[in-house]
């Protein structure tokens, strides 16, 4: 079975919710919808305090090419436009809406029928994605229409669908592939049409055999879609590692998948594209895994964007007393939340609660030069050295050692027996080097 | 917002592997060799090992506590490993005071003066061994013959090691075929029934330790395998070129400290290179130097010197031999 070769780790999988059917989370009393849930320019708010809005209505318009629309996920009245702390820990603008009923805009097809016939043209699909607010749902939240618009001079011959879900605990994509397999496959066909190509590969790690079998059966009646099981290894869900595992192509340092003629989209994104294109339904809800060893009732929920995380936790049995950390995303790359008022956003694949006993890092000790960090780095970097250079402020040297290649997968810090905060220092070095490089361009 | 949550940066999980667990893993891997040594050398093996371990631990504690006034990290297991390895590299009849001096050199000079664990360029146990070899050449080259608990400690009956018998014999012009009859058979050597350093004798015990280290992922195969393979290939060439003058590769690998050196000394984290490519070059270097010293040098054994010499090149190798970066060249599959 295929996998990527260089580095990688095998953290305990802890997929506690793999067998839990997705449930619909009840509507909250109010939502807070941030205007920046994607990489790129924040959308511009186009509603005012006191306005009535419907579910699916645009409340903030995309600003420029690398930006998408933001829609109301509920119907009700705009209470205020104010700032809220989001997953990053910074304040940003959000539209607060008090929920009244659930009245949708008329254009959305809310029936359960699966429409396989793709009527929209390539260009129409791409603009529909932007209008419908589609972004990468694996966590990177890069606007999908940008990836579908292949720049002139570049060529795409393969679409890769990321169904790897290599982070421990998370099962949102897994459940979606099991429960919405056919819709995902139509979504993949739509993406292929947008890219004007005939081939797609779906990479799924071998710990989701049920999803592999299910999709393989369904894919038989779709043209050009191949389901590819992969050997379990973190971080196989990283674009470069997934492309390497499936095709053997190596995206060069500092370049994009399109440079090796590949475009990668997440399985959840394929589903969102299906809904946007076939049902005219904008991205207003997503599947979120709520999990943790101390949680009474972990599960997978279909959640409206803007719902406070607290509601999700409540539904899963309430916040356990000894909770020390709340993580948005996976334990390897996720962000720790400062409170539970933070709203669910497009890029939030899961919420994990850690008991306080697992929340603290071990104390940092001297580097014993065991080379374990070097051997697990999927990009062939030398984390111990990069940390040292960043600590000493030797940023030019760090740049030579390719610090900016680091994708922050965390394998090095995870592995270091001396508990050194390798990635913390690498991040510091990386951001400094990027700033230096920008200043060079300006001069 | 009554509770304060931990908001440290990712990753939020850790492998739970620690320096201490790794060091105690090495200790476990050394146990088979320690037991065979006690089996063959009796009280001597016990006394030398205990003295070495205790004095390494005590010196580390005293130096950190009173000289450097730093936090004491003696429980991390690294001084314990050094103590065991130091004992493994000396004869089992070595007098107590020499062992204590060797421990002081290992811990005090080779490790602490460079800043403690992680900063020493040379393998502490080997520095201690070479210091003792130069300062006490007689005691360091008198080897008890294996006699279990029937033999004493410093008054044990001694004899030459297989390597020394062959080296001396060849120098005196004796034919190799005669010399072979004076040394233990390969299967005796494999089981450890020969004279030599306390921990180097039993290939079987060292190999069990090697398998354990690999299984626990404490070390990788690169250094041990490249050393042993290089010695095997190099001595095969010499042997085929002149079988009357050069011993066979089996002899070179089993007699003396190749396995102890390759598995436990050269793989010392701190003093070995940081990526597989460099590790293989390092291993090849140790292999070549070992054979050169054994065949053409003044000493019958060369593993320790070979490792120390290659230790000196490690900083250079780390600087210029880089791991293969992902996406270095455009590869289209
Ligand atoms: S976080 Fe960066 S340096 Fe560390 S293993 Fe991942 S890519 Fe390598
Ligand atoms: S894993 Fe930790 S202790 Fe080992 S070399 Fe890297 S930084 Fe040093």
Q: Which atom from ligand 2 is nearest to the alpha carbon of A384?
A: 7
Domain boundaries, chain A: 23-99, 122-279, 285-358, 372-442
Interface of A with B in 216-275 (CB under 8 A): 240, 244, 247-253, 255, 260
Task: Output the residue whose Cα is nearest ligand 2's atom 2.
Answer: A416
Contact B326 A384 (CB under 8 A): no
Q: Which of A7, A384, A422 to mutate to test the pocket of ligand 2 (most atoms within 8 A of CB)?
A: A384
Architecture of domain A122-279: 3-Layer(aba) Sandwich (3.40)
Q: Per CATH, is A285-358 categorized as 3.10.20.600? A: yes
The answer on pLDDT for B158 being more than 90 is no
Contact A248 B333 (CB under 8 A): yes
The answer on pLDDT for A300 being more than 60 is yes
Q: How confident is the model at residue B333 (pLDDT cuts 50, 70, 90)?
A: very low
Residues B38, B49: Cα–Cα separation, whole Å: 10
Q: Which of A358, A356, A361 is nearest to A319 (CA)?
A: A356
The answer on pLDDT for B151 being more than 80 is no
> Which residues line ligand 2 at a C-beta cut-off of 6 Å?
A 367-373, 383-384, 415-418, 420, 422
Which chain A residue lies closest to B73 (C-alpha atoms)?
Answer: A365
Quote the ligand 2 centre to B276 CA distance (angstroms). 15
The answer on pLDDT for A141 being more than 50 is yes
Number of A to B CB contacts under 8 A, please give it: 174
The answer on pLDDT for A154 being more than 50 is yes
Domain boundaries, chain B: 19-140, 161-320
Quote the ligand 2 centre to A372 CA distance (angstroms). 6
Task: Output the residue whose Cα is nearest ligand 1's atom 5.
Answer: A377
Task: Output the residue whose Cα is nearest ligand 1's atom 8.
Answer: A377
Quick one: pLDDT at residue B331? 45
Task: Output the residue whose Cα is nearest ligand 2's atom 3.
Answer: A367
Contact B10 A168 (CB under 8 A): no
Quote the ligand 1 centre to B12 CA distance (angstroms). 14
Residues of chain A contacting residue B328, judged by C-beta atoms under 8 Å apart: 250, 252-253, 380
What proportion of chain A, given as a percentage, has pLDDT over 70? 100
Minimal Cα–Cα distance from B330 to chain A, Å? 6
Quick one: pLDDT at residue B3? 65
Mean pLDDT value across residues B45-69: 94
Strand partners, B331: A250
Give alpha helix (H) positions in chain B. Answer: 19-41, 43-62, 78-88, 96-103, 124-135, 137-140, 162-171, 176-182, 186-191, 203-215, 222-241, 249-254, 258-260, 276-296, 303-320
Contact B269 A370 (CB under 8 A): yes
Structure token digits, residue A87: 């997953």
The answer on pLDDT for A225 being more than 90 is yes
Poorest-confidence range of A1-15, A206-220, B169-183, B273-287? B169-183
* Coil vs helix vs strand at A301: strand
Q: What is the largest CA-CA distance in chain B?
A: 88
Q: How confident is the model at residue B329 (pLDDT cuts 50, 70, 90)?
A: low
What proportion of chain B, given as a percentage, has pLDDT over 90? 67
Residues of chain B contacting residue A423, judged by C-beta atoms under 8 Å apart: 9-11
Phi, psi of A378 (to 5 degrees): -70, -15
Which chain B residue lies closest to A397 (C-alpha atoms)?
Answer: B319
The answer on pLDDT for B1 being more than 50 is no
Quick one: pLDDT at residue B159? 84
The answer on pLDDT for B188 being more than 70 is yes
Phi, psi of A290 (to 5 degrees): -115, 120
So what's the ipTM on this one? 0.90
Quick one: pLDDT at residue B332? 46
Q: Which CATH number fits domain A23-99: 3.40.50, 2.60.40, 1.20.120, 2.40.50?
A: 2.40.50
The answer on pLDDT for B119 being more than 50 is yes
Residues B266, B261: Cα–Cα separation, whole Å: 6
**Could you say which of B12, B17, B274 has the minimum Cβ distance to residue A369?**
B274
**Could you say which of B10, B21, B333 has the minimum Cβ distance to residue A333?**
B10
Task: Output the residue whose Cα is nearest ligand 2's atom 7.
Answer: A384
Per-residue pLDDT tens digits for B308-324: 999 999 999 999 999 98
The answer on pLDDT for B154 being more than 90 is no
What's the pTM? 0.92
The answer on pLDDT for B145 being more than 90 is no
A166 Cβ under 8 Å from any chain B Cβ: no
What is the four-CA torsion angle of A19, A21, A27, A30, rounded to 10 degrees? Answer: 30
């Amino acid at each position: 079975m295929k996998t990527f070769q260089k580095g990688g780790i095998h953290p305990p999988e802890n997929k506690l919710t793999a067998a839990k059917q997705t449930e619909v989370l009840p509507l909250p009393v109010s939502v807070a919808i941030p205007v920046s849930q994607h990489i790129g320019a924040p959308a511009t708010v186009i509603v005012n305090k006191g306005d009535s809005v419907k579910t699916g209505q645009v409340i903030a318009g995309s600003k420029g090419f690398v930006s998408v629309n933001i829609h109301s996920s509920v119907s009700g009245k705009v209470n205020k436009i104010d700032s809220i702390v989001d997953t990053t820990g910074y304040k940003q603008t959000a539209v607060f809406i008090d929920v009244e009923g659930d009245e949708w805009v008329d254009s959305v097809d809310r029936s359960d029928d699966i429409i396989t016939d793709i009527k929209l043209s390539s260009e129409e699909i791409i603009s529909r994605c932007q209008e419908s607010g589609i972004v990468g749902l694996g966590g990177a939240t890069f606007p999908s229409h940008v990836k579908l618009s292949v720049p002139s001079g570049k060529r795409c011959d393969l679409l890769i669908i990321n169904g790897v879900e290599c982070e421990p605990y998370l099962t949102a994509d897994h459940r979606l592939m099991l429960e919405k397999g056919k819709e995902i496959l139509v979504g993949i066909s739509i993406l292929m049409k947008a890219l004007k190509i005939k081939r797609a590969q779906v990479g799924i790690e071998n710990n989701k055999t049920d999803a592999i079998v299910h999709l393989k059966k369904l894919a038989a009646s779709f043209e050009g879609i191949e389901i590819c099981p992969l050997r379990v290894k973190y971080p196989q869900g990283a674009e470069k590692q997934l492309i390497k595992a499936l095709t053997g192509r190596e995206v060069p340092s500092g370049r994009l998948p399109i440079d090796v003629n590949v475009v990668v989209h997440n399985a959840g994104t394929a589903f969102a594209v299906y809904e946007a294109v076939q049902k005219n339904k904008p991205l207003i809800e997503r599947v979120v895994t709520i999990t943790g060893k101390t949680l009474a009732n972990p599960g997978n929920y279909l959640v409206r964007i803007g719902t406070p995380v607290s509601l999700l936790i409540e539904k899963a049995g309430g916040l356990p007393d000894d909770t020390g950390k709340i993580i948005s995303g996976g334990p390897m790359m996720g962000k720790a939340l400062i409170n539970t008022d933070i709203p669910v956003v497009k890029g939030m694949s899961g919420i994990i609660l850690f008991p306080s006993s697992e929340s603290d890092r071990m104390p940092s000790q001297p580097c014993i030069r065991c080379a374990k960090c070097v051997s697990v780095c999927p990009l062939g970097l030398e984390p111990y050295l990069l940390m040292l250079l960043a600590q000493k402020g030797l940023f030019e040297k760090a740049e030579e050692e390719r610090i900016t290649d680091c994708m922050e997968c965390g394998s090095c810090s995870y592995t270091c027996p001396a508990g050194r905060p390798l990635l913390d220092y690498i991040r510091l070095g990386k951001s400094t080097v990027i700033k230096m490089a920008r200043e060079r361009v300006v001069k | 917002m009554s509770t304060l949550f931990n908001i440290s940066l990712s990753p939020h999980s850790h492998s739970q592997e620690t320096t201490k667990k790794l060091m105690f893993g090495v200790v476990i891997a050394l146990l088979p060799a320690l037991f065979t040594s006690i089996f063959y050398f009796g009280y001597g093996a016990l006394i030398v090992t205990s003295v070495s371990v205790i004095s390494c631990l005590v010196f580390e504690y005293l130096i950190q506590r009173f000289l450097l006034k730093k936090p004491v990290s003696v429980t991390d297991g690294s001084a314990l490993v050094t103590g065991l390895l130091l004992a493994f590299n000396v004869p089992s009849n070595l007098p107590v005071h020499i062992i204590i001096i060797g421990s002081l050199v290992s811990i005090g000079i080779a490790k602490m003066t460079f800043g403690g664990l992680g900063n020493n360029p040379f393998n502490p146990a080997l520095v201690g061994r070479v210091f003792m070899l130069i300062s006490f050449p007689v005691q360091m080259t008198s080897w008890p013959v294996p006699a279990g608990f029937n033999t004493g400690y410093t008054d044990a009956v001694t004899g030459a090691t297989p390597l020394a018998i062959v080296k001396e014999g060849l120098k005196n012009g004796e034919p190799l075929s005669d010399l072979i009859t004076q040394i233990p058979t390969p299967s005796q050597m494999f089981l450890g029934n020969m004279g030599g350093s306390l921990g180097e004798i039993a290939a079987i015990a060292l190999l069990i330790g090697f398998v354990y280290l690999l299984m626990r992922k404490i070390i990788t195969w690169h250094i041990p395998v490249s050393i042993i393979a290089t010695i095997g290939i190099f001595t095969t060439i010499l042997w085929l070129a002149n079988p009357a003058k050069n011993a066979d590769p089996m002899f070179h690998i089993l007699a003396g400290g190749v396995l102890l050196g390759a598995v436990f000394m050269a793989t010392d984290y701190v003093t070995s290179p940081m990526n597989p490519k460099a590790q293989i070059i390092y291993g090849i270097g140790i292999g070549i130097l070992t054979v050169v010293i054994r065949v053409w040098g003044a000493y019958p054994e060369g593993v320790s010197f070979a490792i120390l010499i290659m230790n000196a090149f490690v900083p250079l190798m780390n600087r210029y031999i880089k791991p293969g970066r992902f996406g270095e060249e455009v590869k289209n599959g």
